[in-house]
């Protein structure tokens, strides 16, 4: 029987709110309302029995029934999800009743002051701390005003109770109020401790799960980043090829025309000079096609290759773009330098640097020195590649940002800001080197690439 009663009581006070803080307040409110409803019901039944027996008047039973009905309505509102409104009304009613007592019997009545303390405590627990401060401030203001009126006999209180000695009824009332404060505080702390326990348990479980998955997630993230970078790099190469296609096709037409014309002349003569011209044009055509294929290649192929040749191939690919912008590209090498590595990756580095140098002139004045110098040499056991232009230059505030992915000062048609980021990544990861830049606005920029020389 007791077990069923406890189960029923828990069901009746169970909060409907999904928010943990609001649910805690709703639970305490429901406990208080059900307790008052139970006491009101018992009082009503006792008064009803006395009235039937002729020992009590009907008005007292009716007042108790009204109180009972009022708290039933409040409980219903709380169960419908209006717990904050219900708490405010609940506390407001207690405040008004206690204020009536303070006005009638004096603000210094101990029972009233204790009830005010109870109301302030319940305000913080049932609503929030801000509401508790507001209640305390308003209560203090009210007590001061009423005390002033009573001291100056503007609102004289009924002070008969001052002449009476302390009795058991007063002592029991004070004890009950203190007990209610203790119970309300205990319920609040109990629910808070439950919430903290759940939070700590969840935190421990999350930490354990995080620790067990941390390595896997890190590896997967690294794989995804590498895959994304590779895909973006491949798309960038295709986009760059699209931008250069007009110049490439222009350069293809010249050797094709040479091959065609010299082949026609071979029909009517045996002169070797036409054969040599046709062969030379075909060889140039072959070299250009190979250089373009390198730009579109994806698979790594490490071998010993000539750095000088790769730079010349890129200059050849960009020759139309440079001539269209009226720019001369000069290449100077200390000597023939061969290294071991991926020729395609170095090819991409050189293409990005020289193409950016050409683009820098689109934002410079017409009086700029329209030249690009490419230097290749060895220094202190390192290979040094230097690309110098005399274009628009780079503002000081952008020098630290130009190697960041997707940072660009170009228009959408000129680039998306991935070229220099990809260049830096290739130099560091594929060749174990570094890249630096120095620049001055309207005076050009100098990019210096350094990496160890390896022949095996």
Domains and CATH numbers, the chain: 19-207 (no CATH), 304-456 (3.30.565.10)
What pLDDT sits at residue 19?
Answer: 81
Report whether 328 contacts 372 (CB < 8 A).
yes
Q: Tokens at residue 146, please?
A: 């009423």
What pLDDT sits at residue 384?
Answer: 93
What pLDDT sits at residue 330?
Answer: 92
CA distances from 235 to 1, 129, 238, 241 (A): 76, 58, 5, 10
The single-letter DSSP state of residue 329 is: E
Distance CA 221, CA 403 (A): 22
Q: Tokens at residue 449, please?
A: 């690439």
Q: Is 370 helix (H, G, I), strand (E, B) or coil?
A: coil
Distance CA 313, CA 368 (A): 26
- pTM of model > 0.85: no
Q: What angle do CA 22, 25, 28 make, to 5 degrees?
A: 150
Distance CA 445, CA 437 (A): 7
Q: What is the H or E stretch that residue 383 is in?
A: strand 382-389
| Angle at which helices 110-126 and 168-266 cross, to 10° | 20
Sequence-distant (6+) residues with CB within 8 A of 155 are: 103, 146, 149
CA 282 to chain centre: 57
- 278-285: list long-range contacts, CB under 8 Å, 24+ apart: 281/254, 281/255, 281/256, 282/255, 284/255, 285/252, 285/255, 285/256, 285/259
Distance CA 231, CA 234 (A): 5
CA distances from 25 to 79, 194, 436 (A): 12, 13, 62
Distance CA 234, CA 437 (A): 25
Distance CA 304, CA 454 (A): 9
- 73-81: list long-range contacts, CB under 8 Å, 24+ apart: 74/33, 75/30, 75/33, 75/34, 75/37, 78/26, 78/29, 78/30, 78/33, 79/16, 79/30, 80/16, 81/16, 81/17
Give helix then strand counts, H and E, for the chain: 12, 7
Distance CA 11, CA 245 (A): 76
Report whether 370 contacts 327 (CB < 8 A).
yes
Backbone φ and ψ for 46, nearest 5 degrees, come out as -65, -45
Q: Which of 291, 290, 372 is nearest to 325 (CA)?
A: 372
pLDDT values of the chain reduced to their tens digit, one per residue, 456 residues: 667 767 776 787 777 777 877 888 888 888 888 888 888 888 778 877 777 776 666 556 677 788 888 888 988 988 888 888 998 998 999 899 999 988 988 888 888 888 899 899 889 888 888 999 999 999 999 999 999 999 998 988 888 877 777 777 777 878 888 888 888 888 888 878 787 788 888 888 888 777 777 777 677 777 676 666 666 655 555 555 555 554 555 455 555 555 555 555 555 555 555 555 555 555 555 555 555 555 555 555 778 888 898 898 888 878 878 888 888 999 998 888 888 888 878 888 888 899 888 888 887 666 668 899 999 999 888 899 999 998 888 888 888 888 887 667 665 555 556 778 888 888 888 888 999 999 888 888 999 999 888 655
Burial class (CB in 10 A: 0-12, 13-18, 19+), 108: middle
What pLDDT sits at residue 293?
Answer: 57
What pLDDT sits at residue 134?
Answer: 92
């Amino acid at each position: 029987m007791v077990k069923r009663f406890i189960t029923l009581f828990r069901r009746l006070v169970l909060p409907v709110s999904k928010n943990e803080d609001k649910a805690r307040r709703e639970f305490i409110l429901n406990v208080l309302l059900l307790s008052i409803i139970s006491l009101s019901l018992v009082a009503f039944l006792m008064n009803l029995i006395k009235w039937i027996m002729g020992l009590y008047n009907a008005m007292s039973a009716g007042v108790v029934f009204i109180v009972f009905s009022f708290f039933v309505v409040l409980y219903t509102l709380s169960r419908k999800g209006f717990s904050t409104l219900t708490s405010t009304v609940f506390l407001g009613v207690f405040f008004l009743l206690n204020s009536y007592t303070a006005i009638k019997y004096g603000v210094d009545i101990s029972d009233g002051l204790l009830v005010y303390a109870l109301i302030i405590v319940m305000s913080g627990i049932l609503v929030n701390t801000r509401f508790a401060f507001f209640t305390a401030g308003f209560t203090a203001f009210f007590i001061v005003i009423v005390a002033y009126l009573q001291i100056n006999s503007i609102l004289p209180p009924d002070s008969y109770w001052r002449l009476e000695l302390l009795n058991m009824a007063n002592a029991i009332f004070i004890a009950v109020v203190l007990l209610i404060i203790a119970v309300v505080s205990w319920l609040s702390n109990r629910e808070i401790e439950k919430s903290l326990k759940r939070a700590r348990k969840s935190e421990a479980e999350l930490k354990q799960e995080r620790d067990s998955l941390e390595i896997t997630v890190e590896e997967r993230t690294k794989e995804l980043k590498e895959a994304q970078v590779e895909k973006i790099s491949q798309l960038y190469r295709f986009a760059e090829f699209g931008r250069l296609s007009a110049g490439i096709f222009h350069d293809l037409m010249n050797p094709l025309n040479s091959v065609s014309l010299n082949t026609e002349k071979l029909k009517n003569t045996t002169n070797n000079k036409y054969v040599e011209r046709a062969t030379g044009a075909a060889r140039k055509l072959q070299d250009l096609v190979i250089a373009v294929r390198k730009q579109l290649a994806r698979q790594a192929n490490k071998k010993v290759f000539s750095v000088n040749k790769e730079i010349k191939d890129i200059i050849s690919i960009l020759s139309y773009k440079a001539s269209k912008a009226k720019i001369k590209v000069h290449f100077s090498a200390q000597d023939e330098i061969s290294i071991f590595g991926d020729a395609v990756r170095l090819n991409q580095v050189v293409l990005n640097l020289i193409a950016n140098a050409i683009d820098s002139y689109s934002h410079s004045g017409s009086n700029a020195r329209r030249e690009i110098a490419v230097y290749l040499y060895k220094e202190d056991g390192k290979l040094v590649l230097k690309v110098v232009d005399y274009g628009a230059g780079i503002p000081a505030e952008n020098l630290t940002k130009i190697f960041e992915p997707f940072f660009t000062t170009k228009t959408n048609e000129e680039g998306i800001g991935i070229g220099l980021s990809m260049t830096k990544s290739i130099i560091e990861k594929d060749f174990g080197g570094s890249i630096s830049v120095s620049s001055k606005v309207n005076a050009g920029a100098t990019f210096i690439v350094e990496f160890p020389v390896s022949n095996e």
